[in-house]
Amino acid sequence: MATIRLGDIAPDFTADSSQGMINLYDYLGDGWGILFSHPADFTPVCTTELGTASKFKEEFDKRNVKMLALSVDGTESHAEWIKDINEVQKTTVNFPIIADEDKKVSKLYDMIHPNADDNLTVRSVYIIAPDKTVKLMITYPASTGRNFHELLRVIDSLQLTAYHKVATPANWEHGDDVVVSPSITTADAVNIFPKGVVEVKPYLRMTPQPNI
């Protein structure tokens, strides 16, 4: 079973899904991606998650992020489950759900944790950048649903820090001040960030978010 770490190239794969055969790299193109696994179809927490994800699609689209879900069940099961999701969550599932009955993708992405369950995938999230590197991994227990507001917050941070020499502090939200990268001197920072730099400590400098 593969082990994936931050900065690794996200393994490519081709698999069947609720929207037909999908190749990961072709599907993502030159954009960002979020891949999230679900223990199984017709499970209560996953039903709420996929419904919520569908409602958040417009927000992911604004950020050029394509969504892709995965479960170890097949496409026929997915089709029936999607009917339930649409009904109880008052939405329309608008992204593919990978059918991973042979657990090929699950093993490729280390989604099966034997000490939790030998057969079902854990509740994992992978955010993939345009260069196909893995920028974030979060694994939740089966009993805890994901917070999609937090996933959007993290994507905002990843996209900001990918193009500007800053980091985001604790509890940062879009529009808040950010931390100047430690690799930049304060003198250089003043030139790079014309909105201003506040030196709290020599190693802690704050500046308004540069891309707004």
Residue 62 lies in a domain: yes
- % of the chain residues with pLDDT over 90: 84
Q: What is the CATH number of the domain that holds 77?
A: 3.40.30.10
Residues 71 and 139 in one domain: yes
- % of the chain residues with pLDDT over 70: 94
Q: What is the CATH number of the domain that holds 196?
A: 3.30.1020.10
Residue 8 lies in a domain: no
Beta strand ranges found along the chain (DSSP E):
14-15, 22-23, 32-38, 65-71, 97-99, 123-128, 134-140, 166-167, 178-180, 198-201, 204-207
Determine the pLDDT at residue 135: 98
Residues 33 and 111 in one domain: yes
Distance CA 205, CA 202 (A): 7
Residues 194 and 107 in one domain: no
- Give, rounded to a whole angstrom, the gap between the first and last alpha carbons of the chain: 42
Alpha helices in 3-147 (DSSP H): 24-28, 44-55, 57-62, 75-89, 104-108
Q: Which of 22, 46, 53, 69 is catalytic?
A: 46
pLDDT at 110 over 90: no
Q: What confidence tier does 126 reach under pLDDT thresholds 50, 70, 90?
A: very high
Residues 24 and 96 in one domain: yes
Q: What is the mean pLDDT of residues 2-27?
A: 95
Number of domains in the chain: 2
Residue pair 70/106 in contact (Cβ under 8 Å)? The answer is yes
Residue 121 lies in a domain: yes
Residues 118 and 174 in one domain: no
Distance CA 73, CA 146 (A): 20
Distance CA 49, CA 62 (A): 20
Determine the pLDDT at residue 130: 98
67-83 pLDDT per residue, tens: 999 998 999 999 999 99
Residue 127 lies in a domain: yes
Distance CA 73, CA 39 (A): 9
Regarding beta strands 32-38 and 65-71, do their DSSP bridges make them parallel or antiparallel, or are they unpaired? parallel
Among 114, 144, 174, residue at a domain's last position: 144
Residues 19 and 115 in one domain: yes
131-145 pLDDT per residue, tens: 999 999 999 887 899
Q: What is the largest CA-CA distance in the chain?
A: 61
Among 116, 144, 172, residue at a domain's last position: 144
Q: What is the mean pLDDT of residues 43-62?
A: 96
Residue 150 lies in a domain: no
In sequence order, what are the residues at sequence separation of 6 or more whose Cβ sits closer than 8 angstroms to the Cβ of residue 61? none
Residue 87 lies in a domain: yes
Q: Is 46 a catalytic residue?
A: yes
pLDDT at 118 over 80: no
Q: Print the domain residue range for 200.
A: 164-207
Determine the pLDDT at residue 25: 98
